[in-house]
Amino acid sequence: MTEPLPNFENGPDFVQSLSRGLAVMRAFDADHAELSQSEIAERTGLARAVVRRSLLTLQHLSYIGARGRRFFLTPRVLELGFGYLSSLRLPELARPAMEQLAHSVQESCSMSVLDGSEIVYVARVPVKRVITIALGVGARLPAYAASMGRVLLAGLADAELDAALEASHLAPLTPHTICKTKPLRAEILKVRQQGYSLVMQELELGLCSMAVPVRDRRGSVVAALNVGMQYHKDSRSRALQVVLPALQHTAAEIERAIAHQWAPQAAESSQA
């Protein structure tokens, strides 16, 4: 991913109105499904007049709807995400193996990719709900506190990892969360070395999860695969003895599918 130039926002190519419109759309989330104009202004830091123009434009384009003085996103915003997901064939390739994994361990299985300091779910096979957060394709979680996030961070080069940690807003989500940069970096380097991440009650109390990387033909980490479980006294031993081998086997199957399906595209890209 190309990094934006440090002073790009002050340059002639930066489209401020587009940036503001996207900020208005990002103001909505699971906890703020409907917002007033003043609430959007408060959440985005934009002037109310700017928010109003953005809302009217997005409403005209059918990305935002209104109920009286309250605004909400419409299903049309899904087109933006579907464009990305349709270009990323990984979820389609991974789904059969993920379903088999979820069935074999009787736990929910998910796949995510890294987007800045967050992970974004691109595939999920739910078996039973063990987390209060509503998760599905497109859901986001802070990378530093999630097993998949640590696997994805571990796949970065050292300089990229340092930049990602610096951009993360580290906060104690539970009393067990590692939220200091130095010990967190040490934990991520440990994940890099051992090839998996086991997170116990750091994202949410009563939840633990284990994740492994999914690599492309060049060995680069392109996604993370995890299994989420309810926490109990035997969680660590079950995760290591039962879940980890199943996860590693599934990741290997997905990697073989990637190598087979993506090879022609890679060849075409190299010739472009």
Confidence (pTM): 0.68
Do 191 and 197 touch, CB atoms closer than 8 A? Answer: yes
CATH, domain range 8-77: 1.10.10.10
Residue pLDDT, tens place only, 79-91: 676 666 555 578 8
Nearest to 144 by CA among 119, 176, 108, 111: 119
Is 257's pLDDT higher than 90? no
What is residue 211's predicted lDDT score, i.e. its pLDDT?
Answer: 97
Residue with tokens 């031993």: 237
The whole-number average pLDDT for the span 251-259 is 88
Do 83 and 188 touch, CB atoms closer than 8 A? Answer: no
Residue pLDDT, tens place only, 220-246: 898 999 999 999 888 899 999 999 999
What is residue 263's predicted lDDT score, i.e. its pLDDT?
Answer: 47
Residue pLDDT, tens place only, 170-228: 999 999 999 999 999 999 999 999 999 999 999 999 999 999 999 988 888 989 999 99
Comparing 67-76, 82-91, 113-122, 234-243, the range with the smallest average pLDDT is 82-91
CATH superfamily of this structure's domain 88-271: GAF domain (3.30.450.40)
Region at 62 (left for phi over 0; alpha for psi -120 to 50; beta for the rest): left
What is residue 62's predicted lDDT score, i.e. its pLDDT?
Answer: 87
Letter for the amino acid at 105? V
Transcribe 80-145 into DSSP letters.
Answer: HHHHHHHH--HHHHHHHHHHHHHHHHTSEEEEEEEETTEEEEEEEE-SS---SS---TT-EEEGGG
CA atoms within 13 A on the CB side of 227: 30
What is residue 271's predicted lDDT score, i.e. its pLDDT?
Answer: 39
The answer for residues whose C-beta is within 8 angstroms of residue 30's C-beta and 6 or more apart is: 134
Domain ranges of the chain: 8-77, 88-271
